[in-house]
């Protein structure tokens, strides 16, 4: 990976999100903190229900009631954005923050050509004429690898394959030259060969445009191939964060080590897959102390009583007894 700037573009501090219900508030994110530098790809990984997508939703300002930010802050390029009113946040979204979602059909209007959608997005955020906007839209389609872009710009979403639709969504996310892109499972609905093309495209665009990317996924393989750093989430908390190679090769948290051990090996045939016993706790049943302790093979009574903090270091794990070497290494 190339070197990236050290000053954070996105800074999230002690983010806490609750959902108000009939029986009281449920805490879905609890003290999440991380930074993303310009030109950096931060992967966010974990099982379903860990809080990955919810974190991205909060950053982009699309958190709907009964969910609400109950604590912490989100800063973009030094500006606090988590407390912005709806209209300023709407203007910021798309202009400074772009989004790529799992299913491109949910991001594309079926009754408008992809060119019309690109042009309207550009005109909304940039002071250009319609002809200039169309020229920019055409260049974006070429940049993301749409063949025969001069013709395809006037086609409708249903006329594109899944991989090509995702490329169009990436072009939409880049329309206004945003500083940050939230990519939420952008390759999950695609086959393996198309996944590789999309991850390569994201890396190239990140480097060429200096765009920061928060890549949300459950696939450690995608993280290893794409991201500079990775944050591992469990039960609404970051349990490990650090450079991808260090985290994947020398995991310090038992949960991360379990995730890595569960990846099938290409060198061993018919091997029984490792698994982490149990499941992610419900929001109303998160255990005290370390949330992972009921599933942890090295936990003690101390772990069940005291919640571990995340040290402010390059490679940190929220664990009272961090592993010195991952069992799978």
Contact 235, 244 (CB under 8 A): no
**Gap between the Cα atoms of 242 and 230, Å rounded:** 6
Average pLDDT rounded to a whole number, residues 220-232: 91
Say if 81 falls within a structural domain. Answer: yes
Domain that holds residue 78: 10-227
**pLDDT band (50, 70, 90) for residue 1:** very low
**pLDDT band (50, 70, 90) for residue 5:** very low
Same domain, 155 and 251: no
Same domain, 279 and 217: no
Total number of domains constituting the chain: 2
Q: Which pLDDT does position 326 carry in this prediction?
A: 39
Say if 233 falls within a structural domain. Answer: no
Angle at 106 between CA 100 and CA 62, to 5 degrees: 60
Domain boundary among 206, 227, 248: 227
The sign of the dihedral angle between the CA atoms of 306, 312, 317, 321 is: negative
CA nearest neighbour of 167 among 107, 95, 93: 107
**Gap between the Cα atoms of 227 and 106, Å rounded:** 25
Average pLDDT rounded to a whole number, residues 237-250: 96
Same domain, 116 and 155: yes
Q: Looking at residue 203, which CATH number applies to its domain? A: 3.40.50.300
Mean of the per-residue pLDDT values for the chain?
Answer: 90
Same domain, 172 and 251: no
Same domain, 166 and 138: yes
Token pair of 82 as six digits:
């988590």
CA nearest neighbour of 17 among 66, 79, 60: 66
Same domain, 209 and 298: no
**Gap between the Cα atoms of 329 and 326, Å rounded:** 5
**pLDDT band (50, 70, 90) for residue 195:** confident
Element (H, E) at 76: strand 67-76
Element (H, E) at 60: helix 52-60
Say if 270 falls within a structural domain. Answer: no
For residue 256, whether the previous peptide bond is cis, meaning omega lies within 30 degrees of 0, is no
Same domain, 156 and 91: yes
Q: Is the pLDDT of residue 270 over 90?
A: no
Could you report how far apart the first and last alpha carbons of the chain are, in Å?
22
Residue 12: phi and psi, rounded to 5, are: -110, 130
Same domain, 163 and 284: no
pLDDT in tens, 97-120: 999 988 888 889 999 999 999 999
For the whole model, what pTM was predicted?
Answer: 0.89
């Amino acid at each position: 990976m190339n070197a990236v700037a050290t000053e954070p573009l996105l800074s999230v501090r002690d983010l806490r999100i609750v959902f108000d219900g009939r029986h009281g508030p449920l805490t879905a994110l609890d003290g999440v903190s991380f930074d993303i530098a310009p030109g950096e790809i931060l992967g966010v990984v974990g099982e379903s229900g860990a809080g990955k997508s919810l974190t991205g939703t909060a950053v982009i300002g699309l958190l709907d009631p009964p969910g609400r930010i109950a604590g912490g802050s989100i800063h973009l390029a030094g500006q606090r954005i988590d407390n912005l009113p709806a209209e300023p946040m709407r203007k910021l979204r798309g202009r400074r923050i772009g989004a790529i979602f799992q299913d491109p059909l949910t991001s594309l209007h079926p009754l408008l050509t992809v060119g019309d959608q690109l042009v309207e997005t550009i005109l909304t955020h940039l002071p250009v004429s319609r002809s200039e906007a169309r020229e920019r839209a055409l260049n974006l389609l070429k940049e993301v690898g749409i063949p025969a872009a001069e013709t395809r710009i006037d086609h409708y979403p249903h006329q594109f394959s899944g991989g090509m639709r995702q490329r169009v969504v990436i072009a939409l996310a880049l329309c206004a030259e945003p500083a940050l892109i939230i990519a939420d499972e952008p390759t999950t609905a695609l086959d393996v060969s198309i996944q590789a093309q999309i991850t390569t495209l994201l890396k190239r665009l990140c480097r060429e445009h200096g765009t920061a990317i928060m890549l949300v996924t459950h696939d450690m393989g995608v993280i290893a191939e794409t991201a500079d750093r990775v944050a591992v989430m469990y039960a609404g908390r970051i349990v490990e964060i650090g450079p991808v190679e260090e985290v994947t090769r020398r995991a310090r948290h038992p949960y991360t080590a379990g995730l890595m051990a569960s990846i099938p090996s290409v060198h061993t045939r018919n091997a029984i897959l490792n698994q982490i016993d149990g499941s992610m706790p419900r929001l109303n049943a998160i255990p005290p102390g370390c949330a992972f302790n009921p599933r942890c093979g090295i936990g003690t009574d101390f772990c069940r009583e005291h919640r571990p903090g995340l040290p402010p270091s390059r490679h940190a794990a929220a664990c009272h007894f961090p592993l010195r070497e991952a069992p799978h290494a």
